[in-house]
């Protein structure tokens, strides 16, 4: 019940505005969100690196509605990868396929992800495909295994949600592929 309420609240613009503008709420969010811009996030990554901790950067947002938004998300990720490389940071990125156009066109999503993964390959860094709601699990895993992983084995991995009954089998499959996997609790209903 509490989980459902929190998931509902997380999608409300007024709640987002409250967290953004309330000092106490913002201090709780800052534990998970290093900054609202790349310029504010990079110093947090440097601080983590100085403690021997690797960071993962993610653009908050998903489910773009047109090709231009998907290409803008791609460009933002390319900039993040460029800055990580230029500043010599120990960090990678995490990407939601719906932000890369998966709901618009599979071919658009693959093309965009090949751009992002090509840059990661150029810099010898890593991109993790976030898992979204269970409605996207099959497609995300299929695109990962069939379209992205074969060409970018060193540079792409997958996130699996521990809440799903299927996850043990998905982990076994990822292990067979020798793919990098991150298990998360899962933030979706």
CATH of the domain at 42: 3.20.20.220
**Among 119, 121, 131, CA closest to 187:** 131
Distance between CA atoms of 176 and 158, rounded to whole angstroms?
14
Q: What is the pLDDT of residue 24?
A: 60
Q: Same domain, yes or no, for 28 and 120?
A: no
Which residues participate in catalysis according to the annotation? 130, 182
Instruction: Based on the fold, state whether residues 24 and 44 are members of the same structural domain.
Output: no
| 79 and 21 housed in the same domain | no
| The pair of three-digit structure tokens given for residue 62, joined into one six-digit string | 């998903």
Let me know how long the chain is. 189
* Number of folded domains that form the chain: 2
Distances (CA, A) of 51 to 3, 30, 55, 108: 33, 18, 11, 39
Q: What is the pLDDT of residues 36-71, one digit of tens each?
A: 789 999 999 999 999 999 999 999 878 899 999 999
CB-CB contact of 127 with 156 (8 Å): yes
For residue 94, the enclosing domain spans: 35-184
Q: What is the pLDDT of residue 6?
A: 46
Tens-place pLDDT, residues 112-143: 999 999 999 999 999 999 999 899 999 999 99
Which of 20-24, 47-51, 78-82 has the lowest average pLDDT?
A: 20-24
């Amino acid at each position: 019940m509490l989980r459902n309420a929190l998931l509902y609240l997380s999608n409300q613009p007024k709640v987002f505005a409250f967290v953004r503008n309330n000092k106490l709420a913002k201090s709780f969010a800052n534990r998970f969100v290093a900054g609202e811009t790349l310029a504010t996030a990079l110093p947090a990554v440097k601080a983590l690196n100085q403690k021997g901790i690797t960071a993962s950067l993610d653009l908050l947002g998903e489910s773009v509605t047109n090709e231009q938004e998907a290409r803008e998300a791609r460009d933002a990720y390319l900039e993040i990868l460029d800055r990580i490389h230029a500043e010599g940071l120990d960090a990678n990125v995490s990407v939601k396929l719906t932000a890369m156009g998966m709901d618009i066109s599979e071919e658009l999503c693959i093309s965009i992800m090949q751009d992002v993964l090509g840059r990661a390959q150029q810099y010898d860094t890593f991109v993790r495909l976030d898992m979204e709601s269970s409605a996207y699990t099959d497609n995300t895993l299929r695109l990962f295994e069939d379209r992205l992983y074969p060409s970018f084995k060193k540079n792409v991995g997958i996130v699996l949600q521990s809440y799903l009954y299927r996850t043990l089998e998905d982990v076994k499959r990822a292990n067979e592929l020798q793919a990098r996997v991150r298990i998360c609790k899962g933030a979706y209903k």
